[in-house]
Chains A and B, each alone.
Chain A
Amino acid sequence: MGDPMPYIMLATALFLIVGMVLMLTRLIGGPSLYDRLLAVNSFGTKTVLFLCVFGFIIDRPDGIDIALLYALMNFIATIAVLKFFSYKALAVDLRDVADVSTEEVQ
């Protein structure tokens, strides 16, 4: 039994995969669109963590760059899907739409 840290990293990655599988069940069986979107967002966060841990497992920390990119892309994707399903189009300037949406609510 040498250095215990690789085993601990491996166990962390396995438990993160368990959490990702649980999120996938909510993604497939979610009753509403927003449940699925929440599951995708949480799945992306766990993917970022998994990429960081995986970079430590294979002893090449280059995976953290990909994790950084994925964290930003995950956020943009969530906002984009929300915008598409709120306004039925992506080519909408939210600065013009803000007044209309508050009028809709009131």
Chain B
Amino acid sequence: MFAQLIMAAEPVVHEAASASVDWSVVWSFIRNVLTVMSLAGGLFFVLAGAVGVIRLPDFYTRLHAAGMTDTLGAELILFGLILQADGWQVIAKLLLVAFFLFVTSPTATHAVAYAAYKAGEKPLLGRWRAPALEDEA
């Protein structure tokens, strides 16, 4: 008798559950999945840049590895954090951090490369010749 009651009651319960989907739960699930994806991508780029800085043979290749990957990895990690933030102040601050990193990181990379080249740091080249500095200007 109990089993019959449960079998009779079950479809009704399911219909009630599917009729009113809790959209906040769905939204937080999507947000979490997006956060995990962008954090994992950002960590992949940051760690790839770190391994490149350790392993590459030459100053300019190391600078390339660090400068390229740091910008994209930082932006991805900050995007993942923005998805988890609550309150517009936190989002605004994270956007400011992302903006300043986006502006200053390539600038610092360029300044280091220019200073090193002006100071006579030689790149590893096979049979190619580095261009003279006045050719670019």
A contact residues vs B (CB 8 Å cutoff): 4-5, 8, 12, 15-16, 18-19, 22-23, 25-26, 31-32, 34-35, 37-39, 41-42, 45-46, 48-49, 52-53, 56, 61, 64-65, 67-68, 71-72, 74-75, 78-79, 82, 85-86, 101-102, 105-106
A79 touches B43 (CB 8 A): no
Dominant secondary structure of chain A at its interface with chain B: helix
- Chain B residues with Cβ under 8 A from A71's Cβ? 97, 100-101, 104
The chain B residue with its CB closest to the CB of A79 is B111
Known A-B contacts: A56-B84, A64-B97, A75-B107. Give 20 more (CB < 8 A).
A8-B35, A15-B46, A16-B43, A22-B50, A23-B53, A31-B59, A42-B49, A42-B50, A42-B70, A46-B46, A49-B74, A53-B81, A61-B89, A65-B93, A68-B93, A68-B97, A71-B101, A78-B112, A85-B119, A86-B115
B84 touches A78 (CB 8 A): no
| 7 smallest beta-carbon distances between A and B, as pairs | A75-B104, A22-B50, A34-B116, A19-B50, A64-B93, A42-B66, A61-B90
Assuming the A-B contacts A12-B77, A78-B108, are A52 and B97 also in contact, with contact meaning beta carbons closer than 8 angstroms in the complex?
yes
- Chain A residues with Cβ under 8 A from B43's Cβ? 12, 15-16
Q: Among A34, A45, A68, point to the contact of B105 (Cβ < 8 A).
A: A45
**Least Cβ distance of A4 to chain B in Å?**
7
A68 touches B96 (CB 8 A): yes
B74 touches A22 (CB 8 A): no
A71, B74: Cα distance in complex, Å = 12
The chain B residue with its CB closest to the CB of A4 is B32
A71, B104: Cα distance in complex, Å = 8
B contact residues vs A (CB 8 Å cutoff): 32, 35-36, 39, 42-43, 46-47, 49-51, 53-54, 59, 62-63, 66, 70, 74, 77-78, 81, 84-85, 87, 89-90, 93-94, 96-97, 100-101, 104-105, 107-109, 111-112, 115-116, 118-119, 121, 133-134, 137
- Chain A residues with Cβ under 8 A from B70's Cβ? 42, 45-46
**Least Cβ distance of A87 to chain B in Å?**
10
